[in-house]
Every structure is written in structure tokens, then in C-alpha cells.
Chains A and B, each alone.
Chain A
């Protein structure tokens, strides 16, 4: 994409083991400002654990992880986090604007009285994700796509340098998937964000992704989508025949050893 920016996230010789099981090892990855990296792989390959490592919730077994040159510990305002879309129950006393407000100062002690200045900041954030209209409705009454818009605004509220997205497209329909991807693209350009995007389906992201990290069976490949999402590369990675099929502008990974469920673009399947 554009000229290479500052290194925001840096994993060096990183390894993660749970007991006997190695999720991944010797992982080197630098994510630069303005870059979108998709993390792909089946269930249990350690995609979400990678995010937990970067958030400081899980410790690496070996190697190091740095955000903006500093070792990770605990959470940080420099890191924005967009979780899976989970429908908020409508019993919660929470509107869209309150969710964004929590992203702004929810980590501070005290009561936090409402102020005009705070309201304006929240309004600006809502406007940046085109969600002003739904801001005063109960969160539980918003659609999944609208909730994810609020989630984006919430993640941007701390003015992060790194955006971590943990399957934010899950259970969204295609139109809303596109909206979320466009928002990610817009914000990384406007704010020069580094983005790490965990997903099981790369297709909605293909237009905006710069590189992919593909995890499988304790091993991985990093590169541009054209370098990694190829039959020969994935066959080598999985150690069993894999075919990458391009059909109607979509990528489908067929095969992958133990894992029929590792396929991308699984909505074409019964």
C-alpha cells in the first residue's frame, strides 16, 4: 500500500504452548501503521490466543511481543479491540452512545459526570462510523451490524494505534460485513492505524487486506494474499492436499487435513 509506516506491533520468535500442544512457534511478524493483516486458520489454531497475547491476557511461552516498542502488559489505550458480535440483551442500561463513552473513559476511576465536552467527543466518534442516528437507542434493540458500528466507534475512542478485530464479521449478513470492512479501511487510512483482523473467512476482507498470517497445525505462513492463498503453499503448510479455488470473485480453500471446517467461504457449502 502506501509508504511503510512505523512498526506498531512486533512479534519476535514468538511461541505459544498449552501443555504439550504447540499453537505456533518462531513467529516473526511486524505490523506497520496503515497496514491491515488478516489472521486466518481453523478453530483451535491459536488465532484468538494471538490476540490475547497482544492484549497481555496470555503470556508467550517464548519470544517477545511489543506494541509501539514497549513490552505488552495488561490492557492499553494504544490498542483498540473489536470483539465478536454478541447480541447485547435489551435489559442492559446501555445505549449506543454509552458503549462509545465506555471506550472513551470507562477505565477511569470515579463516577464520571456527564459533560458537554464529553458528549461532543462521543458525537464525533459516532459520526465517524456513520452511526449518529441510532446513538440514543437501547443497544439490545440495534441490529448486529449497527452494534458492530458502535463497537468500531468504541474501539476508536481511546485513540489507538493498533486495532485488534476478533471475528467481528461473525453472524453478520453480507451487507453488514461489507460495512464493517469499509469502516476498518476508512479508519486505518484516516488514523494511520495498524490492524490485525482475525477471521475464518478472508473474502469480505480481500479488498482491504495487505498481508495474511495463515495458522495451521502449529505452523504458519505470512505474506500477501496472492503469496499465501495458493494451493501449493497451503498444501505445504497443512502437509496434506489443499486446493484454493477461485469462483465468482471468491476464494474457497478446500481440504486441509483434519479440518473440513477450516474452509474459507463456507457459506457456499450446505
Chain B
């Protein structure tokens, strides 16, 4: 890109010449963004209901470290980030069943794992292009085999969520009564951490480790601002997440800056909108 030198800074952000040609090139990215929007919006409902946003942040940083290790050891970025993500998710799930424990365990694991990730990157003799990509997003670089792998993971997570949806929701919002009714809360918690780990590994590839929360938390939190229905909230959350993802990618095509700021800004604006709707409603009710 950047063949034409932009004359003012905003042309760097929005420049829609040659849009159609670019869109063809980035077909893969749009598909990946759409899938991640659906899965991220769904799993986000549970992340917020189980009070786990900080754990999500921790897992995504450790997923980055896994990707860095994968790069160094030559097993590839995607497998590395999946391994890192799953390892972190299951560790945090096993060691921190209560929210307070979980937060400190996340805080202990995160810098250690991140340190290892930085070590792996600095030892990596190859090109440095991936260094920031993994942290801040690299969707533009996604090729066909990669998008296939990411899509497969998204489908797997969606099927898994559909199977455990009701008991997982019960266990998330009302754990004591769920356990009393015989819902296998511990098994479900492990299954959830596994699905979450997979989703985060995909998100790290697309939006970058630092920005995963904008897909896995912001849309669900926004949806919960405007609705209390367990049917409406997931639908809104998925809508918000896909609009942010696909909208962000399409907007980014017209500029030469990375894709992430568009996604995070859209996601944030949607949250602001929901917040405004909720407070207007509350004022009307008195």
C-alpha cells in the first residue's frame, strides 16, 4: 500500500480509491472477522456473566507468548497461540474458581508468560514483521490456509456453545442452585475455559492480544446495558461484535493504518450508544 503519499493525515485514515480491488484481496479477512464476531459475541455473554474480563485479557497475553514460542520453535504462529491460550485458560480455570482468586492468579501468570513471549521474539532470527502484529492485530496478513484453520475453530466453538448453552448459563448466573439441581458445574467450567481459550487464540490472530477485550467483552457488556433478556442479549451481542469486526475491516481498507483502531473504536462507540440508551430509559422511568 502507500504508493500514493497521503497529503493530509486523515487520508491515511480514510481513502477509498481502489476500494473494490482491495476488497477482493481482503475477502479472507472479512470472512474471519464475521466468524469471530459471531463466536466472540456469544462467548462474551458468559465472560461477563462469570465476571471474567480480566482473565480474558490474561489469557490473550499468554496466547501471544504461545504464538511467539511457536514462531521461534518453528511450529507456527497459530498452533503456538492455541497451545498458549488453552494452557493459560485451563490453568486459570483450575486454580481460580472464585473471582478473587482468579484475578490474582491471572495477574501472577500474565507478566511471567508475557516475559517468556518477549524472550522468544527476541531470540527469533527471522523477520520482525510479526512482532507487533500479534499484539496489535494482523488481519491483513491472513492467508487461505490460516483462514481455514480459524474458521474451523470458530465453528467448533459455536457447536460446543450450542450444546452446553443452557446448563452453562444456569451455572454462570446461579451456580449454587445449578449445582443443587445436578448441573455438572465443574465439568462445564472446564469446557467453558477450553472454548474460551480457542476463541481467544483466534482473536489474537485477528485483532491482536492487546485488543481482544473489544470483541470478547465490549459487545456483551453493551448488550447487557440495554436488555436483561437471556435471549435478546446474545443476539445483540453477536450483532454488535460482527458490526465492529466487519465494519472495522471494511473501514480499514480505505486507510493505511492497522485494522485494530477501527474495530476498537466501533466497538466502543456501540457501547457508548447503549449506555446512553440505558440512562435515558432510566430517567424516563423516574
Contacts and interface: CB of A to CB of B under 8 A. Distances in A.
Interface of A: 55-57, 74-77, 79, 81, 83, 88, 91-95, 98-99, 102-103, 105-112, 114, 137-139, 151, 154-155, 158, 164
Interface string B153-192: 0000000001111110110011011111111000000000
Interface residues of B, number: 29
B228 interface: yes
A106 B181 contact: yes
B17 interface: no
Interface of B: 45, 48-49, 162-167, 169-170, 173-174, 176-183, 223-224, 227-231, 233
A228 B182 CA distance: 34
Contacts of A83: 176-177, 180
Q: Is the interface of A mostly helix, strand, loop or mixed?
A: loop
A58 B177 CA distance: 15
23 contacts: A57-B179, A77-B182, A81-B176, A83-B177, A83-B180, A92-B228, A93-B173, A93-B224, A94-B228, A95-B228, A98-B230, A102-B170, A102-B174, A102-B177, A105-B166, A106-B174, A106-B178, A106-B181, A107-B166, A107-B183, A110-B165, A111-B166, A151-B177
Nearest to A157: B181
Contacts of A154: 177
B167 A75 contact: no
A259 B179 CA distance: 32
B181 A110 contact: no
Given A106-B167, A111-B166, A94 B182 contact: no
B169 to A, nearest CB: 7
Contact of B167 (A91, A107, A139, A151): A107
A109 B177 contact: no
Contacts of B223: 93
B161 to A, nearest CB: 9
A112 B49 contact: no
Contacts of B227: 93
B162 A110 contact: yes
A109 B165 CA distance: 7
A109 B230 CA distance: 16
A110 B164 CA distance: 6
B54 to A, nearest CB: 15
B48, B162, B174, B231 interface centre (most CB from chain A within 10 Å): B174
Contacts of A102: 169-170, 173-174, 177-178
Contacts of A77: 181-182
Contacts of A107: 166-167, 170, 178, 181-183
Contact of A91 (B48, B176, B231): B48
Given A92-B228, A93-B228, 8 more contacts: A75-B180, A75-B183, A93-B45, A93-B49, A94-B174, A102-B173, A106-B174, A112-B165
Contact of B228 (A79, A110, A138, A151): A138
Nearest to B166: A112
Nearest to B161: A111
A110 B230 contact: no
Nearest to B182: A75
Contact of B180 (A79, A93, A112, A137): A79
A162 to B, nearest CB: 11
A111 B224 CA distance: 19
Contact of A114 (B45, B169, B179, B231): B231
Contacts of B173: 88, 92-94, 102
Contacts of B183: 75, 106-107
Contacts of B228: 92-95, 98, 137-139
Contacts of B166: 105-112
A57 B179 CA distance: 8
A107 B169 CA distance: 10
A112 B180 CA distance: 20
Contacts of A164: 180
B254 to A, nearest CB: 36
A39 to B, nearest CB: 16
A138 B223 CA distance: 14
Contacts of B48: 91
Nearest to A76: B182
A158 B182 CA distance: 12
A55 B183 CA distance: 12
